[in-house]
């Protein structure tokens, strides 16, 4: 009963102060849109780094007379090595030809197969960084039968660095946007309380409970947050759709972003109105 | 019904609104509170419905010792008291009927009772034909009647009237006073603040006169 009246009064308030409501709704929506956009970027960077990490390997090129089996088992015994795959010179040529496609004819200038046999060495996750790569590759180079080793770990290190910076940036942004959304809701509810001062006065005068007096404002803050979060999600979908023409978004956790936007929108909205109520509904 | 015992109210900057005021109003009485602007009339009313706290002294209203009344118990006190004002305090975006029903809706009245009680009070105040009008479509006297209806619809034991005729012409003022006298005749205790001495004397009821926060005449 009280809830029904409170909600009805909340809707009445929103309709009557619609321009104020829409203005703060937009601010909330844009704030959450920015936050979601950066969250999406970070999630994708993380998944990119993780994907690249899985591909990190050391390639050890072998001498013609190398004892492959012995090397294979020796390398596998080194701490940090998770898998060793032998690639014969024929297989390497075949792979190269496949990669080159139509331009493979170029390879005809070689009379013999120029590619050496090699071992592809995959690493345990904790060694998938430039330090681990360097250490292991130095060890492997010392082994008899290994001509040379190559690896490419610096890119991953750089990506990890960038991801870290963006994560810090996200955390900062989250803090600013949390405060902004709570502040905007607080201001809106404050103005709404002033606009409804006669109603509040009458409600108090006739003996309405404080909880009933608060419901319309909490309701408004909650709706503002929920709607703002939802609009932000729709904006994100549109941006992703438009953006997909220019770049790919491999990882787009729609449900996570939708639920996150709605949940935090609602919570921040309620907090904002609760603060305003505490301060102005004496 | 209402008991003030050596009550003082001092606002900020040492402004004394009430100074050592003692009086008692019996059940079913009609009492006028008179005095010039700033004499403390509104403060007395506000203290009764606990909008203000006394600086000194004790106030008892019905069975409530106001000093001991907790914040969450105030609504229960106010549900037994009706208050009307000089400026009516009506909601301008609601009809007469909605304005009156509002007082019931926000105080846990079952919806099926609301319509009947609103209709009854409108009939009593001869306002039924105006129930779909908005306050701005009514005269001052009619607006005050709506405000009385809103106070009356909850069947209060006490009705507090703060200058209810202050914005009205002589004819409307008399009409409002007649309504209040009739409400009192039916058993409701009424305390009415007014500086319209002509109106007050005509009613031949008990008068408490305030000046600078003190009772100067009873």
Query: What's the number of domains chain A is made of?
Result: 2
Contact with chain B for residue A209, Cβ under 8 A: yes
In this structure, is residue A144 part of a structural domain?
A: no
Complex ipTM: 0.87
pLDDT tier at B47 (50, 70, 90 boundaries)? very high
Q: Confirm whether A37 is domain-assigned.
A: yes
Residues A176 and A67 in one domain: no
The model's confidence at residue A229, banded by pLDDT at 50, 70 and 90, is: very high
- Write down the pLDDT at residue A94: 84
Q: What is the pLDDT of residues A22-31, one digit of tens each?
A: 988 888 898 8
Cβ–Cβ gap B154/A210 under 8 Å: no
Q: For B108, which of A2, A205, A213 is closest by C-beta distance?
A: A2
Residue A69: the pLDDT is 84
- Residue B46 contacts A, CB cutoff 8 Å: no
Examine the domain organization and report whether A33 and A117 are in the same domain. no
What pLDDT sits at residue A1? 61
pLDDT digits (tens, 9 = 90+) for B10-37: 888 778 888 898 999 999 999 999 988 8
Tokens of B49: 């419905």
Same domain, A178 and A232: yes
Does the CB of B155 have a partner CB in chain A at under 8 Å? Answer: no
The CATH number of whichever domain residue A115 belongs to comes to: 3.30.70.3040
Q: How far apart are CA B140 and CA A26, in angstroms?
A: 42
The answer to whether the beta carbons of residues A39 and A196 sit under 8 Å apart is no
Mean pLDDT, range A16-36, rounded to an integer: 86
The three-point CA angle A149-A155-A157 to 5° equals 100
Domain enclosing residue A91, as ranges: 57-127
- Contact between chains at A207 and B76 (C-beta distance less than 8 A): yes
| Closest residue on chain A to B77 (Cα) | A207
Minimal-distance CA residue of chain A relative to B78: A207
pLDDT band at A282 (very low <50, low <70, confident <90, very high): low
Mean pLDDT of chain B: 90
Distance between B84 CA and the closest CA of chain A, angstroms: 10
Residue A209 has its nearest CB partner, among B75, B80, B102, at B75
Cβ neighbourhood burial of A12 (10 Å; 0-12, 13-18, 19+): middle
| Per-residue pLDDT tens digits for A158-190 | 777 877 888 888 888 888 888 887 888 888 888
Q: Does B108 touch chain A (CB under 8 A)?
A: yes
| Chain B residues with CB-CB distance to A205 below 8 A | 49, 78, 83, 89
In chain B, which residue's Cα lies nearest the Cα of A7? B106
A64 and A19 fall within a common domain: no
Chain B: nearest CA to A46, how far in angstroms? 52
Supply the DSSP string of A99-122, one letter for each residue.
HHGGGGGGGGG-SS--PPPEEEEE
Q: What is the pLDDT of residue B82?
A: 92
Which 8-state DSSP code applies to residue B44? H
A226 belongs to a structural domain: yes
Distance (Å, whole) CA A180 – CA A225:
12
Residue A137 lies in a domain: no
**A198 plus A73 within the same structural domain:** no
pLDDT of residue A148: 85
- The residue of chain B nearest to residue A199, with distances taken between CA atoms, is B91
Between the CA of residue A259 and those of A30, A182, A191, B89, what are the distances in Å? 17, 19, 29, 43
Average pLDDT over residues B44-50: 93
Same domain, A14 and A79: no
Whether the predicted model's global pTM rises above the 0.90 cut: no
Do A85 and A15 have their domain in common?
no
Domains of chain B: 2-217 (3.40.50.300)
For residue B183, the model assigns a pLDDT of 92
Write the pLDDT tens digit of every residue in A100-109.
777 777 777 7
Same domain, A187 and A243: yes
Token match 């060890």: residue?
A: A139
* Probe site for chain A from B87, B99, B101, B106 (most A CB atoms < 10 A): B106
A229 and A195: one domain?
yes
Gap from B75 CA to chain A (nearest CA, Å): 4
pLDDT one-digit tens code per residue, B156-190: 999 999 998 888 888 888 888 999 999 999 999 99
- A3 at the B interface (CB within 8 A)? no
Tokens of B170: 């002589």
Mean pLDDT of chain A: 84
């Amino acid at each position: 009963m009280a809830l029904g009246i409170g909600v009805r009064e909340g809707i009445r308030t929103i309709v009557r102060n619609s321009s104020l409501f829409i203005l703060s709704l937009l601010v909330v929506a844009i704030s959450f849109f920015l936050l979601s956009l950066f969250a999406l970027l970070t999630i994708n960077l993380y998944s990119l780094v993780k994907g690249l990490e899985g591909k990190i390997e050391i390639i050890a090129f072998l001498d013609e007379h190398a004892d492959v089996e012995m090397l294979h088992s020796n390398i596998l015994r080194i701490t940090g090595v998770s898998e060793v795959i032998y690639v014969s010179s024929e297989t390497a040529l075949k792979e190269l030809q496949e990669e080159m496609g139509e331009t493979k004819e170029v390879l005809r200038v070689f009379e013999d197969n120029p590619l050496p046999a090699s071992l592809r060495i995959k690493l345990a996750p904790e060694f998938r960084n430039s330090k681990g790569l360097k250490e292991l590759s130095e060890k492997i180079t010392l082994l008899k039968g290994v001509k040379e080793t190559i690896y490419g770990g610096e890119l991953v290190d750089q990506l990890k660095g960038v991801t870290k910076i963006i994560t810090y940036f996200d955390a900062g942004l989250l803090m600013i946007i949390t405060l902004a959304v709570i502040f905007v809701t607080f201001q809106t509810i404050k103005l709404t309380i002033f606009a409804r001062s006669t109603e509040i006065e009458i409600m108090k005068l006739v003996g309405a409970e404080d909880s009933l007096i608060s419901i319309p404002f909490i309701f408004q803050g909650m709706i503002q947050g929920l709607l703002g979060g939802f609009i932000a999600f729709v904006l994100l979908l549109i941006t992703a759709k438009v953006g997909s023409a220019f770049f790919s978004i491999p990882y787009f956790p729609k449900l996570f972003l939708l639920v996150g936007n709605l949940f935090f929108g609602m919570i921040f909205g309620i907090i904002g109105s609760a603060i305003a109520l505490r301060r102005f509904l004496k | 019904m209402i008991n003030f015992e050596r009550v003082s109210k001092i606002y900020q900057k040492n402004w004394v609104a009430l100074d050592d005021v003692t009086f008692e109003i019996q059940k079913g009485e009609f009492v006028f509170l008179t005095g010039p602007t700033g004499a403390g009339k509104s403060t007395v009313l506000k203290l009764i419905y606990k909008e203000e706290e006394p600086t000194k002294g004790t106030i008892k209203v019905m069975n409530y010792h106001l000093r001991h009344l907790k914040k969450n118990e105030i609504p229960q006190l106010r549900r037994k008291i009706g208050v009307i004002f000089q400026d009516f305090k009506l909601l301008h975006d609601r009809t007469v009927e909605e304005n009156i029903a509002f007082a019931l809706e926000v105080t846990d009245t079952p919806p099926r009772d609301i319509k009947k009680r609103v209709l009854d009070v409108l009939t009593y105040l001869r306002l039924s034909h105006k129930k779909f009008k908005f306050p701005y479509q009514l005269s001052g006297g009619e607006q005050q009647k709506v405000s009385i209806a809103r106070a009356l619809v909850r069947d209060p034991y006490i009705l507090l009237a703060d200058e209810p005729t202050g914005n009205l012409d002589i004819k409307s003022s008399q009409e409002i006073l007649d309504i209040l006298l009739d409400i009192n005749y039916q058993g409701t205790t009424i305390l009415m603040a007014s500086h319209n001495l002509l109106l007050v004397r005509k009613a031949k009821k008990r008068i408490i006169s305030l000046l600078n926060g003190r009772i100067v005449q009873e």
